[in-house]
Structure 1
């Protein structure tokens, strides 16, 4: 697998990154305006954090309560330890019910599990119905943002894609592009055998699942087909409906700057006798897939994330390299923590270093997750286990070798001072070899003189 640096180098400065940067800044501005207009936001953030951390500390109890109340409402619950168990359950259910056509609303968990691949391997047709995810699917691309999968694409690219894949006349008008997608998807909802969704929040007290979207696809996916399968990350619970309302208050404002998402759906069980719509069956698959391991570790706070994407929008690294450079379902600051925590730190050891530790992510996080602290914790662990990226380990070894030998250290200081005298302006405009990549786009300030040298120079001859 290629490294973060290799993927980033291939993306930096490209047109998709420019489009992504514009979109991320726009999301960030909307979030800022929404927060300014809501004086209670800080209090709500504190309450949301308290709710999420309390739930994680008592997760076993709330998972059991959720399963009991949902089953009492007529739903089915399956606990999946990993991706294989989750995918097998859905595939076997679809096979047993004779399912051929499946519609999906947006779900990062299904992307994490590669559920689409498992279903398509069985010959079933799976259609993404979120506009962004549909574009990704048609283009055989990957999402680049948590809430906006095609933030890296322009309307001109989408127009050309629809012309090629859907056989419609070219247009780059956003309203018409939405209409084309709507006309393409509407009959698929009505003929689908199964609908698959994610879950934004699940409520232990009532056995309800909440799905928020800004398109009607989520509501159609969960009510039109006869079978609804909801994929729930084991950490996405809250104790009560009141707690859910707090999460929704901060989620929409942090994600898109809205007071509330356009479609906020709360579902409890399948259709009951006498009800005009809804699925005949509701299956909720509760997925662990590494979450228990994270919960037991020092970085468990990352599981409080509500997937708003605010940290991506303000991150200077994400806005420079884009989402694909992270190589994972979860990009940006949250992904730099979550991916190595959920999976293998050895395989993903470069992601904790994909940050300037500027703290912008902490400033905007609706549940105040201290992502810089968590990144430092993972860096520390990668050093202790010697799994960190080689480009970081070699300079650290060289520094350690010099710092533990006074003569070597003083010799290096003298060499550095001699080099510094060559740059009287205080700036290095061009570096040789690998340093050239740095000075191509910026100047490098020369190291400051030590206090001892400055004091000595100031008092010479006095």
Structure 2
């Protein structure tokens, strides 16, 4: 598999006015809510350190905790299936559904499910699949993939959703002559999905955390669809990457306190539920069968590399919300399941060398992602390392390699470097004109094609520093 061309997708996103409007509207809300939640929680920094230590310890003993988790799932009547690849995971889940004679499948939001194209595999086997997360349901109707890991339909406007609903379930009667309110759309989706919940044979969910101590799957949602998907059908299938396991419930609690604040600015999501095996005789609800599919799909290969800290990621989406590149182009431009800074690292690692060469370049290295990451994953360092690996494999575009060599030549020769930067500052300053903005310039078309570039000062930093020192010496007694 190879990610589609990033540059073409990014250019299309920058010229899409509707997308730009949706991104601008969503961006501020995520940032404001997270900032308020962190300010109200003085212990957040200490909790970040604790969470980072938990993930580092767990990955160091991953085989032990996975085996302990499996033993506890089996002890409580569940079944555990191991999948090395995406294809194996799809085959296992399809086989479970067929063995249970399931025809109708409902799904909770699962990025791992997107990673393995699970819906496509289930539908190819003749199963009717319905996403139950509202955002996932919207993009399923649109035939699209998620554009954000916690808000899949963040790129959609209210009018676009209304058109989708009118096209796909007209019998529920959105008035065509009126512009529906958001509550109107939510209520219509609720009516449609309720029938799906009540008639489903199997439910598939992801997992935010797997607790080795108890064999539990922790699922976090704000809509309650995860609970209904897990308890109403007679078969519940949990699909998870192997990195989601944590040692104890106390460890999971620490990570949950980080997750809610970082993802949505909440102390805790509206629904945080532990599922531990199938229905027991005294239970009033729950599935008759409980299956857990633990998938590797390249994760164990990352574990033994300098990139292992990307496996600390708890999929909160904070790095996306603070990333200027993601904020400008949205998630679809990244071409695969995982967008933003975490996707710029994870996608090339999961797809393999040369399969997503542009993503590590889609970063300004401003460091916001590391600053807001609840697990302090050094995303800029990992991105720089990926760029270095691409350079060594000669995957970096030829023009970029020429520019890098040219910069290295001048950087090693301070006098030449000072002269070149002084000339460049004067030229760019002249291009800026009276408004102090550069609207077009040679070799800068990608910068100026969608925004004006501020003109630099005509005097370089080095020149300013020399002038400051000379002035300081003159003023000394």
TM-score w.r.t. length of structure 2? 0.89
The structural deviation recorded for 1:157 is 1.4
Match of 1:225 in 2: 233
In structure 2, how many angstroms separate the alpha carbons of the residues matched to 1:340 and 1:203?
29
Match of 1:7 in 2: 9
For the Cα contact (< 8 Å) 1:189–1:224, is it kept in 2?
yes
- Per-residue CA shift, 1:112-155, capped at 9, x if unaligned? 00011111011111100000000000111221111000111111
Aligned residues: 461
Q: In the alignment, which of 174, 189, 195 is matched to residue 169 of structure 1?
A: 174
* Residues 15/272 of structure 1: CA separation in 2 closer, same or farther (3 Å cut): same
Aligned-partner SS, 2:151: coil
The structural deviation recorded for 1:448 is 4.7
* Residues 399/265 of structure 1: CA separation in 2 closer, same or farther (3 Å cut): same
In structure 2, how many angstroms separate the alpha carbons of the residues matched to 1:192 and 1:424?
62
Q: In the alignment, which of 312, 323, 326 is matched to residue 320 of structure 2?
A: 312
The structural deviation recorded for 1:230 is 0.3
- Per-residue CA shift, 1:401-433, capped at 9, x if unaligned? 777899998996797588579669896735444
In structure 2, how many angstroms separate the alpha carbons of the residues matched to 1:410 and 1:20?
40
> Which runs of 5 or more structure 2 residues have no equivalent in the other structure?
none
Aligned-partner SS, 1:249: helix
Q: In the alignment, which of 88, 91, 95 is matched to residue 88 of structure 1?
A: 91
Q: In the alignment, which of 19, 22, 26 is matched to residue 23 of structure 1?
A: 26
In structure 2, how many angstroms separate the alpha carbons of the residues matched to 1:457 and 1:276?
78
The structural deviation recorded for 1:211 is 0.4
In structure 1, how many angstroms separate the alpha carbons of the residues matched to 2:319 and 2:363?
12
Aligned-partner SS, 2:453: coil
> Which runs of 5 or more structure 1 residues have no equivalent in the other structure?
none
For the Cα contact (< 8 Å) 2:223–2:270, is it kept in 1?
yes
In structure 2, how many angstroms separate the alpha carbons of the residues matched to 1:353 and 1:289?
24
The structural deviation recorded for 1:396 is 2.1
For the Cα contact (< 8 Å) 1:423–1:446, is it kept in 2?
no
Aligned: 1:183 with 2:194? no
Aligned: 1:197 with 2:205? yes
How is 1:121-200 mapped onto 2 (pairs within 5 angstroms)? Answer: 121-167=124-170, 168-170=173-175, 171-200=179-208
In structure 2, how many angstroms separate the alpha carbons of the residues matched to 1:363 and 1:412?
34
How is 1:298-309 mapped onto 2 (pairs within 5 angstroms)? Answer: 298-309=306-317
Match of 1:45 in 2: 48
In structure 1, how many angstroms separate the alpha carbons of the residues matched to 2:27 and 2:422?
45
Aligned: 1:101 with 2:104? yes
Aligned-partner SS, 2:447: helix
Match of 2:335 in 1: 327
- Per-residue CA shift, 1:222-247, capped at 9, x if unaligned? 01111111001100111000111111
The structural deviation recorded for 1:274 is 2.7
The structural deviation recorded for 1:368 is 1.1
For the Cα contact (< 8 Å) 2:82–2:293, is it kept in 1?
yes
Match of 1:367 in 2: 375
Q: For the aligned residues, what is the CA RMSD?
A: 2.7
| Deviation larger for 400-409 or 170-179 | 400-409
Match of 1:271 in 2: 279
In structure 1, how many angstroms separate the alpha carbons of the residues matched to 2:284 and 2:51?
35
| Deviation larger for 381-390 or 447-456 | 447-456
In structure 2, how many angstroms separate the alpha carbons of the residues matched to 1:409 and 1:216?
60
The structural deviation recorded for 1:394 is 3.9
In structure 2, how many angstroms separate the alpha carbons of the residues matched to 1:34 and 1:428?
37
For the Cα contact (< 8 Å) 2:260–2:266, is it kept in 1?
yes
For the Cα contact (< 8 Å) 1:227–1:282, is it kept in 2?
yes
